[in-house]
Structure 1
Amino acid sequence: MRNGLLGVLLVLGVGSNASAQVLDLETCLKMADTANLSIVNSRLDVTMNKSQISSYLTARYPKIVANADYRYNAIIQGQLLPGEIFGGAPGTYQAVKFGVPFVFSNSIQLQQILFNPQINYGISTLKIQQEVLEIQQKITERDSKTQVANTFFNLQAINKQIGFVDSNLVNIDRLIGNMEAMERQKLIVKTEVDKLRINRLNSVNGKQTLLANKDQLEMLLKILIGLPEDQKITLASDDLVEKSILVDGNTINYPEMELIGAQIRMNEEEKKGNNMAYLPSLSFVAGYNYTYNMKPEDKVRQGIPSAFLGIRLDWTLFDGLEKYYKQKVTKISHMKLENQEELLNQQLHMQTENAKRQIEIQVNSLGIAQEQLKLSQSVYKQTELQYNEGTVDSNDLVKASTDLQQSQTNLVVAYVQLRQAELEYLKNIGNIK
């Protein structure tokens, strides 16, 4: 009995509110869609990248920069000039100071990009990055919902197993009561009753283990669907684990293939960007400056305006072969991505076919487990009847009880393994809703 309960636990894996919230699988998946933090963060990544695209697009707009420079020249800057300018002898020099102590300068400049190939490349890259993030969001949603469904079915399986244990305890308590009466009448020895008491203690211990595992799974489910820790929950139907979830198993969508396809397009854009880096960038520039000069002791106050318009060309004529080697790296990366795409396609198809076969295997295992349970129930009832008639001893009764409990465990395991196989298949084809 104890080994059987531990076996189902290995397969299954892993409160102050007045009323418990009733949950079905559909409700759990909907709650996870809005409250699961992994899903929420994946959507925030998509939103953040959209803002980055908008920010990058501002490079197309004109840039206007204003500057103000208010300066006091404690020592006027000087410069040596040929002395002959001032009537001196050739070959001599004289220091001359330029400027005034107080200089107030204000300027405003405008720059408008007319042509910059790197901007167009950057925008294309960000748009593909947006696709990548959206695909990753779908993968995150799929994986999170798979975890929710798996946890939900494990909880249902534990509830079903606890129900079996409770039913067995009722039968054992009834038998112990009958045998204690027979013991008092000196019809059987105490050892016969103790064998059933040991069996009962094993069942009680197994139930406690199941309840502890149930608490862990409930806590995990609350985290996955965004419920508070103290919220009591109960599952809407304990027999849902017996119903197939293969509503639509024909629609195949491999988000991993979409992801690597987007990465290949990103690589192609990177190649274009490397080629565009050979081209120059062209900008329109304009500026206005007003400088006010003051020398109070000489009563000098003079403003000098200036302005300009122009075109600026920036062109890297030689970069030390940097772009050439970048192109080589990009080409090798492209070859690697194509190989990964082919390998991934083969792996996904293999996993899908394996998942299909696993479903067939688990369906057969479930049929065997159901038949075993029917036989075990029949054997137990017959053995109990024979024991009451005195034709078999307590060892046969305990063995029949243990076999029944093992069959019950096997049935729960078979249901869970079948649901897990279906989940794995739906996950592989990207069809968990």
Structure 2
Amino acid sequence: MKKIILLVIGILLSINLNAQEKISLSLKEAIDYALENSYSAINASRDIDTAKKKKWETTTIGLPQISAKIDYQNWIKQQVSLLPAEFFGGNAGEFAEVAFGTKHNMNATATLDQLIFDGSYLVGLQSAKTYLQISENAKEKTDLGIREAVINAYGNVLLSEESILILEKNIATLEKNLTETNQIYLNGLTEEENVEQLKITLATIKSQLSKTKKLNNIAYKMLNITLGIAINKPVLLTDNLNNLSKEYSNLGLLSSELTIENHVDFKIAKNTEKSNELLVKLEQSKALPSLSSFVNFGYAGFGQNFDFFKKEQKWFDSSLLGVSINVPIFSSLARSSRTQQAKIELEKAKTNLTETEQKLMLQLESAKTEYNYSLEELETSKQNLALAERIEKKQQIKFFEGISTSFELTEAQRQLYTMQQNYLQAMLNVIATKAALDNALNISIN
């Protein structure tokens, strides 16, 4: 019994350890993971599968259709008909009660239907192909969106991680300054106000650290959702903000040109135009005749008793071949009205295509501007951070030598903290604007 209990405990511990095992991901690995496992990627793949099935469903409309049917009838009380009695040697003017047929009847039939010609079916085949293209383009757009979302979520986690490290470093420096200043105050060489000023600054930074840690936890959960991982699953990020900002700094992208026809948004708009063209054809095809045929085979059995499974039962076979043609002649101009409506929708789709083309060009120009600005801002923030560090260091020296006041030191520290956050944000902006520019250029995932 003791061994069984130990075994159960071991299994539970193993399950718990597996559940808590961290997933280590670089940014590229995170993107690849999300493209396979994110919720939107999974559903986009399912949409393609649905479109493929829909295409085959449409195709089968023009293929032979075979159906079978068995009918059984049991006259609990047979219907009676009245016939002139004189037919049976009776008196004129009188009627004889006659029951036609048998008490038990069974019919088994098999029918093969074949569509020979239908204009709407031909249009349907084209529509099914377009529907599949729409789903494939939607998947491509989803993948591009996932890539950008992962980059932003990954970057936000790194930003919060770097912020925590910097805030902890600043707190350590402030605590050291506060200890030294408090000792100087106790020796009567500085005012109490200087100690209090440092305490205020330290409390403020500690509050920021607490908030940043909470935001860091939320950022991890947002990343997990984007990746398609349970929000409480531990994830370890192997890239850092500084290296990614350097990797994503590429001035060559600013001279890149876009082939509009290859952009997924243009292809989606083109699909919409094609769909409306097919709707026009569909309405026009409804004025054409349709032709179909069928062949039917059947057996029928009759009896006063239910003897259909006995060898003595007689079965009577039958067969029928038929052709049906349906010719639309006059619809009081309803078909014409529907065709004109479809043509209007087609013109709207063409206008939307032109608008999409212009928007994509504007989007590219805007993305290039934002990316270029982020690169410039990164360099500026880096220089400003170096200046703020030197200023803060000089103010510390002056403060402890009694040359400057605690107010001047506090201002220098605040300026340093602002520059630190600006630099981190600038690195993140480079990564984010590069991702947006990649999408604007429709750069392939692979």
Q: Is the TM-score greater than 0.5? A: yes
Q: Secondary structure at the match of 1:106?
A: strand
1:240 corresponds to: 243
Q: Secondary structure at the match of 1:153?
A: helix
The answer to whether 1:337 aligns with 2:333 is no
Task: Tell me if structure 2 keeps the 8 A contact 1:131–1:262.
Answer: yes
Q: How far did 1:95 drift? A: 6.4
Pick aligned residue for 1:264 from 265, 268, 273: 273
1:11 corresponds to: none
Q: Residues 276, 84 of structure 1: CA spacing in aligned structure 2 closer, same or farther, 3 A cutoff?
A: farther
CA distance in 2, matches of 1:285, 1:358: 66
Kindly provide the CA deviation profile for residues 124-162 of structure 1, in whole angstroms up to 9, marking residues without a partner as x: 101100000111111111112111101111222222222
1:5 corresponds to: none
2:231 corresponds to: 229
Task: Tell me if structure 1 keeps the 8 A contact 2:249–2:375.
Answer: no
Kindly provide the CA deviation profile for residues 302-354 of structure 1, in whole angstroms up to 9, marking residues without a partner as x: 65432222322233333443322210111000110111111111111111101
Q: Residues 233, 110 of structure 1: CA spacing in aligned structure 2 closer, same or farther, 3 A cutoff?
A: closer
> What TM-score do the two structures reach when normalised by structure 1?
0.87
* Deviating more after overlay: 213-222 vs 156-165: 156-165
CA distance in 2, matches of 1:97, 1:79: 6
Task: Tell me if structure 2 keeps the 8 A contact 1:295–1:301.
Answer: no
Gaps of 5+ in 2: 1-15, 306-311
Kindly provide the CA deviation profile for residues 251-279 of structure 1, in whole angstroms up to 9, marking residues without a partner as x: 63421110010111111122222222222
Q: How far did 1:404 drift? A: 0.9
Q: Secondary structure at the match of 1:22?
A: strand
Q: Residues 195, 65 of structure 1: CA spacing in aligned structure 2 closer, same or farther, 3 A cutoff?
A: same
CA distance in 2, matches of 1:336, 1:76: 65
Q: Residues 305, 22 of structure 1: CA spacing in aligned structure 2 closer, same or farther, 3 A cutoff?
A: closer
* Deviating more after overlay: 120-129 vs 38-47: 120-129
* Deviating more after overlay: 400-409 vs 271-280: 271-280
Q: How far did 1:19 drift? A: 5.8
Kindly provide the CA deviation profile for residues 217-237 of structure 1, in whole angstroms up to 9, marking residues without a partner as x: 101111111333333223223
The answer to whether 1:35 aligns with 2:47 is no
2:290 corresponds to: 281
Pick aligned residue for 1:187 from 182, 186, 189: 189
Counterpart of 1:352, as a letter, is L
The answer to whether 1:385 aligns with 2:391 is no
Counterparts of 1:68-217 in structure 2, within 5 Å, are 68-79=70-81, 97-217=99-219
Q: Secondary structure at the match of 1:230?
A: coil
The answer to whether 1:51 aligns with 2:53 is yes
CA distance in 2, matches of 1:124, 1:361: 47
* Deviating more after overlay: 252-261 vs 223-232: 223-232
CA distance in 2, matches of 1:278, 1:19: 66
Task: Tell me if structure 2 keeps the 8 A contact 1:146–1:432.
Answer: no
1:9 corresponds to: none
CA distance in 2, matches of 1:301, 1:387: 117
Counterpart of 2:40, as a letter, is S
Counterpart of 2:386, as a letter, is K
Task: Tell me if structure 1 keeps the 8 A contact 2:399–2:405.
Answer: yes
Q: Secondary structure at the match of 1:139?
A: helix
1:394 corresponds to: 406
CA distance in 2, matches of 1:86, 1:246: 108
The answer to whether 1:25 aligns with 2:27 is yes
Task: Tell me if structure 2 keeps the 8 A contact 1:251–1:431.
Answer: no
Kindly provide the CA deviation profile for residues 142-186 of structure 1, in whole angstroms up to 9, marking residues without a partner as x: 112111101111222222222222222222122122212212322
> What TM-score do the two structures reach when normalised by structure 2?
0.85
CA distance in 1, matches of 2:213, 2:315: 89
CA distance in 2, matches of 1:423, 1:257: 19
Counterpart of 1:160, as a letter, is E
Task: Tell me if structure 2 keeps the 8 A contact 1:165–1:203.
Answer: yes
Matched-pair identity in %:
20
Q: How far did 1:429 drift? A: 2.1
Counterpart of 1:245, as a letter, is Y
Choose between structure 1 and 2 for higher RCO, CA contacts under 8 A separated by at least 6 residues: 1
CA distance in 2, matches of 1:23, 1:348: 33
Pick aligned residue for 1:350 from 357, 362, 371: 362
1:321 corresponds to: 333
Q: Residues 94, 318 of structure 1: CA spacing in aligned structure 2 closer, same or farther, 3 A cutoff?
A: farther
1:413 corresponds to: 425
CA distance in 2, matches of 1:368, 1:262: 45
Counterpart of 2:417, as a letter, is Q
Q: Residues 246, 192 of structure 1: CA spacing in aligned structure 2 closer, same or farther, 3 A cutoff?
A: closer
Q: Residues 195, 241 of structure 1: CA spacing in aligned structure 2 closer, same or farther, 3 A cutoff?
A: farther
Q: How far did 1:75 drift? A: 4.3
Task: Tell me if structure 2 keeps the 8 A contact 1:156–1:241.
Answer: no
* Deviating more after overlay: 174-183 vs 308-317: 308-317
* Deviating more after overlay: 394-403 vs 112-121: 112-121
Q: How far did 1:189 drift? A: 3.1
CA distance in 2, matches of 1:51, 1:170: 63
Q: Secondary structure at the match of 1:243?
A: helix
